[in-house]
């Protein structure tokens, strides 16, 4: 049989020395493979200790950083969501909370398809950072649904007056109407036109939408 081969740290091998001797054991411990294993093991120990003692660190974010886990009040319900520092409210609503009724169209605060109501005021969700919302109440089109799934009177008025055409801008038009009628339950047609002036309709159904607003005001 061949003599056992022992690998030195410099990669050279020697033969003829029994594997169980003290010198062979020391050489094995000093091998490159043992050294790499030791580095990996020490890194694992350091990482686990950091995990164990992380609870002793303060619960506040570091200076200059932004807390990512937020509590948002949406449609009367507090939702916990992980938010990036530059994330818009439209992205959070649609892709984090699954509220896809808020449409994302121009993504530059021009068309009004993403309109939501925050504390009674209409806001373009595509140009509002989620971190700016704070503890204010956000209302989306999903929040208008009745307890048994019935439509809101404003939604029904829009259907009765054939307001929606392609329907893409309709959620924004409805939320603007909600904010208007809550602040002014009996608006004139000019007041309704001014309230909806920030919502573009690519189908050109503006008269239908104005008729819908006036009908909702009369039936309220």
Give 164-207 pLDDT, tens digit per residue. 999 999 999 999 999 999 999 999 999 999 999 999 999 999 99
Residue 35 has pLDDT above 60, yes or no: yes
| Spatial distance between the Cα atoms of 32 and 196, rounded to a whole number of angstroms | 73
What pLDDT sits at residue 6? 47
Q: How many residues does the chain have?
A: 220
pLDDT-derived band at 51, boundaries 50, 70, 90? very low
Residues 6+ apart with CB under 8 A from 215: 157, 160, 161
> H or E element: which one contains 72?
strand 69-74
What pLDDT sits at residue 85? 93
What pLDDT sits at residue 26? 46
The answer to which of 64-73, 100-109, 126-135 has the lowest mean pLDDT is: 64-73
Backbone torsion region of residue 64, taken as left when φ is above 0, otherwise alpha when ψ lies between -120 and 50, otherwise beta = left
What pLDDT sits at residue 151? 97
In three-state secondary structure terms, 209 is helix
Q: What pTM value is reported for the model?
A: 0.71
Nearest to 134 by CA among 113, 119, 116: 119
Residue 220 has pLDDT above 90, yes or no: no
Q: Are strands 115-118 and 137-139 parallel, antiparallel or unpaired?
A: antiparallel
For residue 27, give both structure tokens. Answer: 């050489």
Question: What ranges do the domains of the chain cover?
Answer: 5-56, 69-143, 150-219
DSSP 73: E
What pLDDT sits at residue 87? 97
Residue 119 has pLDDT above 90, yes or no: yes
Domains 69-143 and 150-219 are alike in CATH topology: no
- Whether residue 93 contacts residue 177, with contact meaning beta carbons closer than 8 Å, is answered with no
Residue 2 has pLDDT above 60, yes or no: no
What pLDDT sits at residue 54? 46
Residue 25 has pLDDT above 50, yes or no: no
Q: Are strands 69-74 and 5-7 parallel, antiparallel or unpaired?
A: unpaired
- Whether residue 220 contacts residue 153, with contact meaning beta carbons closer than 8 Å, is answered with yes
Q: What is the CATH number of domain 69-143?
A: 3.10.20.30
- Whether residue 152 contacts residue 171, with contact meaning beta carbons closer than 8 Å, is answered with no
Mean of pLDDT over the chain: 84
Say how many CA atoms lie within 13 Å of 82 toward its Cβ. Answer: 0
| Spatial distance between the Cα atoms of 215 and 120, rounded to a whole number of angstroms | 21
CATH fold of 150-219: DNA polymerase; domain 1 (1.10.150)
């Amino acid at each position: 049989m061949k003599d056992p081969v022992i690998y030195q740290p410099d990669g050279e091998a020697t033969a003829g020395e029994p594997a169980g001797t003290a010198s062979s054991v020391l050489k094995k411990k000093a091998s490159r493979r043992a050294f790499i294993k030791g580095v990996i093991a020490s890194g694992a120990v350091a990482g686990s200790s950091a995990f164990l003692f992380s609870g002793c660190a303060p619960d506040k974010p570091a200076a200059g950083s932004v807390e990512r886990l937020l509590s948002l009040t949406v449609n009367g319900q507090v939702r916990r969501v992980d938010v990036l520092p530059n994330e818009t409210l439209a992205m959070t609503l649609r892709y984090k909370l699954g509220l896809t009724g808020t449409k994302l169209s121009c993504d530059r605060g021009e068309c009004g398809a993403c309109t939501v109501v925050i504390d009674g005021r209409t806001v373009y969700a595509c140009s509002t950072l989620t971190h700016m919302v704070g503890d204010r109440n956000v209302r989306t089109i999903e929040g208008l649904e009745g307890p048994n799934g019935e439509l809101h009177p404003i939604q029904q008025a829009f259907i009765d007056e054939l307001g929606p055409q392609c329907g893409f801008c309709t959620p924004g038009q409805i939320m603007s109407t909600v904010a208007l009628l809550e602040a002014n339950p009996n608006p004139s047609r000019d007041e309704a036109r001014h309230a909806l002036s920030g919502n573009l309709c690519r189908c050109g159904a503006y008269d239908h939408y104005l008729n819908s607003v006036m009908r909702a005001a009369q039936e309220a």
